[in-house]
Amino acid sequence: MTVNGFDLASALNIVTTVAVVVGVVFAMVQLQHGARTRRDHAAVDVVRTVQTQEVRQAMAAILMLPDNVSPEMIRNDPKLLAAALAVDSACEMWGCLVYENVVDLHMLDRMVGGWVRGSWRKLGGWVEAERLDNRNPNIGEWWQWLYDKIEAEPDPSKALGAHITYRGRCKYSESRMLSEPMQIPGRKKSSAGSVIQPKAKEGLPHVKD
């Protein structure tokens, strides 16, 4: 049907297409927001786990042991065995969260990477012995997976320390910088929003940022 030379069928098709595109974009935005919310909640769960007295005391006891401690030493000491089981439970949970992409690998490495590395170096032999004796390859599986993963893809701060690698930086500030124009001290914005370059002092060349 044509009205005044305008094809209504074509117009309806265009409107329908636009509506579908808008709906898809909106759904994607909502999914991204939901994923970010889940990651934030998971990060809080990691922090809560770290702050529990049981996990902190267990990790402290395990990290005092020599590397590759004998499985018999863990099995014959009820306190060490309880600590090892608590550490295993925590690291298993952290590994699953990273695998499911609920927690970012590097974020977890920054938070508890030292604990994961240190505890596995102490108890890796005990975990392997438990697997053999119980004929269960699933014991400590996500703990070992997480250890291997953060060793293969460590957070950049692990080489020099966060105080050097991320000096003066903040992820929240960086994300805002990507979405907002940078305002450099000494520069003014025009009424149109464009940046007005200040005049260079006489005798000194103006250095381009």
For the segment 160-166, the average pLDDT, to the nearest whole number, is 91
pLDDT at 43: 61
Q: Rounded to the nearest 10 degrees, how much is the dihedral formed by the CA atoms of 85, 90, 93, 99?
A: -110
Instruction: Compute the residue count for the chain.
Output: 209
Half-sphere exposure in the Cβ direction for 61 (13 Å, CA): 18
What proportion of the chain, given as a percentage, has pLDDT over 70? 57
Query: What band does 137 get if pLDDT is binned at 50, 70 and 90?
Result: very high
Q: 54 is written with which tokens?
A: 């049981």
For the segment 121-129, the average pLDDT, to the nearest whole number, is 97
25: pLDDT strictly greater than 80: no
Say if strands 6-7 and 188-189 run parallel, antiparallel, or are unpaired: unpaired
User: Poorest-confidence range of 27-31, 41-45, 185-189?
Assistant: 185-189
134: pLDDT strictly greater than 50: yes
pLDDT at 18: 67
- If one compares 150 and 18, the residue with the highest pLDDT of the two is 150
138: pLDDT strictly greater than 90: yes
pTM of the complete model? 0.64
Say if strands 2-3 and 6-7 run parallel, antiparallel, or are unpaired: antiparallel
DSSP class of 200: P
Longest dimension (CA), the chain: 92
Among candidates 69, 67, 162, 150, which has minimal Cα distance to 113? 150
Alpha carbon of 203 to those of 196, 199, 200, 206, 207: distances in Å?
21, 12, 8, 10, 12
Residues 88, 143: Cα–Cα separation, whole Å: 7
Residues 185, 126: Cα–Cα separation, whole Å: 58
99: pLDDT strictly greater than 90: yes
195: pLDDT strictly greater than 50: no
Beta bridge partners of 195: 189
User: Poorest-confidence range of 4-8, 16-20, 100-104, 139-143?
Assistant: 4-8
Q: For residue range 72-98, what is the model confidence (pLDDT) as tens digits?
A: 999 999 999 999 999 999 999 999 989
Q: Which amino acid is at 15?
A: V
15: pLDDT strictly greater than 80: no
